[in-house]
Amino acid sequence: VQPPEADPERFWVRWHRDYDDPASRLSQRLRAVTRRTRQAVDAAPPGTVRLISACAGQGRDVVAALVDHPRAGDVVGRLVELDPYNCEVAQGALVGARLSGIECVCADAALTDAFDGAVPANVVLLCGIFGNITDDDIRHTAQNAARLCAPGAWLIWTRHRRSPDITPRIRQWFTGAGFELQAFDAPDESDYCVATFCLTAPPLAFQRGIRLFTFVR
């Protein structure tokens, strides 16, 4: 399947091309997300590890993190991506990496319904979302994130740090929602950050029908 180059609505297909350059900012960010995702799987309790990724794109982070991870066979989960081409690429990559416990579904990840049956998760990825939604929606997502989580879940989000850098406020929103910061990867020479949190408060009950955010770009 070829991406439909001329269709401007397929911006999110073209967006992934920067991953093809290992020196790109996006590839640097990928390496940080991959490292933290591997650590999150390491930290999960013995047995089945449930992983979810919202707005998963082509699933590059999940596949890179798990392809040679010693616990890859323990991991089950769901990637949720709205663009059908990206979804197909992600599903193909999951199959190619023999991650048979993980599926990619083409659905609206902003609605909690998309994760019904895949939660409570031990590992939650919210990467490439917070630069595309309003500050209010970021706060709302932080306040409801524990609905997707198992006790002690690790949650990873990314956001650019361009002025005005709101990542300190986002960190506060997650801390206020019961998460504790584990790592904050924010290299001086780049403008991205990768924030890794652990849920230290009890999880909230999962509820269908909650809209977490709306993409505004």
Ligand X SMILES: C[S@@+](CC[C@H](N)C(=O)[O-])C[C@H]1O[C@@H](n2cnc3c(N)ncnc32)[C@H](O)[C@@H]1O
Is the CB of 88 or the CB of 108 nearer to ligand X? 108
Is the CB of 60 or the CB of 171 nearer to ligand X? 60
Tokens 């939650």 belong to 124
145 in Cβ contact with 174 (< 8 Å):
yes
Compute the least distance from the CB of residue 47 to ligand X, in Å. 26
* Site residues for ligand X per CB under 6 A: 12, 15, 55-57, 60-61, 80-83, 86, 108-110, 127-128, 215
| DSSP helix/strand/coil, 14 | helix
Compute the least distance from the CB of residue 67 to ligand X, in Å. 15
Compute the least distance from the CB of residue 216 to ligand X, in Å. 10
How many whole angstroms separate alpha carbon 35 and alpha carbon 94?
A: 18
Compute the least distance from the CB of residue 60 to ligand X, in Å. 5
Is the CB of 110 or the CB of 195 nearer to ligand X? 110
Residues 6+ apart with CB under 8 A from 155: 123, 124, 125, 126, 145, 149, 174, 179, 196, 197, 198, 199
Compute the least distance from the CB of residue 214 to ligand X, in Å. 8
Is the CB of 61 or the CB of 74 nearer to ligand X? 61
How many whole angstroms separate alpha carbon 130 and alpha carbon 191?
A: 14
Is the CB of 73 or the CB of 186 nearer to ligand X? 186
Is the CB of 159 or the CB of 171 nearer to ligand X? 159
Burial 22-48 (b: 16+ CB within 10 A, else e): eeeebebbbebbbbbbbbbbeebeeee
110 in Cβ contact with 80 (< 8 Å):
no
How many whole angstroms separate alpha carbon 193 and alpha carbon 161?
A: 7
Sign of CA dihedral 121, 95, 11, 7: negative
Compute the least distance from the CB of residue 205 to ligand X, in Å. 22
